[in-house]
Structure 1
Amino acid sequence: MEQCIILYNEAKWLGKEINSIQVNSYSQSSVNNYNNKVEQHTQMTSAFNKDCAGTQSESAYRAAQKLNAEM
């Protein structure tokens, strides 16, 4: 369960980071950096869905929300 919470939080933070990135479409390194972060986020959300899905996903979501509220 703890790993699910960590994964949820890291994916959430990375998603926020991705949404705030300004990609310079003329810079290959900027595009590559963005694409790498999107790929990492995709892998994280896929892992969360695979490993924490079902009955655990709702309780992991609630636990993560509670943990975040305490921070």
Structure 2
Amino acid sequence: MKTIDVLLEELQLSLEVVSTRARITPERVVAIIDGRWTPSPEERRRLATALGVAVDDISWGHTMAPRNVRYHQFGLKEVF
């Protein structure tokens, strides 16, 4: 099972090509890749078809570490 970003690299496909094939906005595809959006079953089917793989061959789980969300929003404090 591979993530979409790994498949994009292996298949040498651009984000624009995949988003056009899948009929999903590039912003949504980026959010899915970043783990900020869980795709619907229809979006999963479209993305898998656009990549030429089975839906079950893609890792769809969230990949963003929840403990880092606050750090990314507000930065790391200087004093520990």
TM interval, shorter chain, is under 0.3
Bigger relative contact order, structure 1 or 2 (CA pairs below 8 A, ≥6 apart):
1
- TM-score computed with the length of structure 1 as normaliser: 0.27
- TM value normalised by structure 2: 0.26
